[in-house]
Amino acid sequence: MEKTVKIEEYNPDWVGEFHQEKARIMEVLKNDSLCVEHIGSTSVMGLGAKPILDIMAGVQQLAEADAFIEPLKSIGYEFVPHKEFPERRFFRKGQWRAGTHHLHIYRFGSEQWKNQLSFRDYLRSHADVRKQYQHLKMSLAEKHPADIVGYTKAKAPFILNVMESAKGG
């Protein structure tokens, strides 16, 4: 099922949904040392988003994620290999191109881990940039209503600029 790119208004329930899903993940992985963070637009108060919860887990060694495939399958996650992202393991909950949850696993403290948190935190603390991002997302959703990949690629330059600002300031 191909899902259209639809940006919903910020929903405060997303925070509670994240905490419930984090508890499910922690329970099946039985790993008390796993660090789990809410990332993506649903983690930024006031920012509209596609209603997909992005969750990030940090592991000491990326190979640890191989042992997560079966336990995560038991709560509805499917491992999706992405050769173009060798420093990440990705799991999707929900149908292809219409998922409800995305779980990104990185090595804790890696550049990718830090970038995800930096982008989230920058948007949380810079209302003007958050509004610009909101406007961009809405216009791109209109421009790419049935092309999630095109929508995502078109956001990349803005995200890179924010990342540079976050590093410099």
Name the E strands within 63-139. 77-79, 89-95, 98-107
pTM listed for this prediction: 0.92
Collapse the DSSP code of 24 into the 3-class scheme (helix H, G, I; strand E, B; otherwise coil) and give the result: helix
87-138 per-position pLDDT tens digit: 999 999 987 766 799 999 999 999 999 999 999 999 999 999 999 999 999 9
Residue 108: CB atoms within 10 A of its CB come to 17
Token pair in block for residue 90? 């990705």
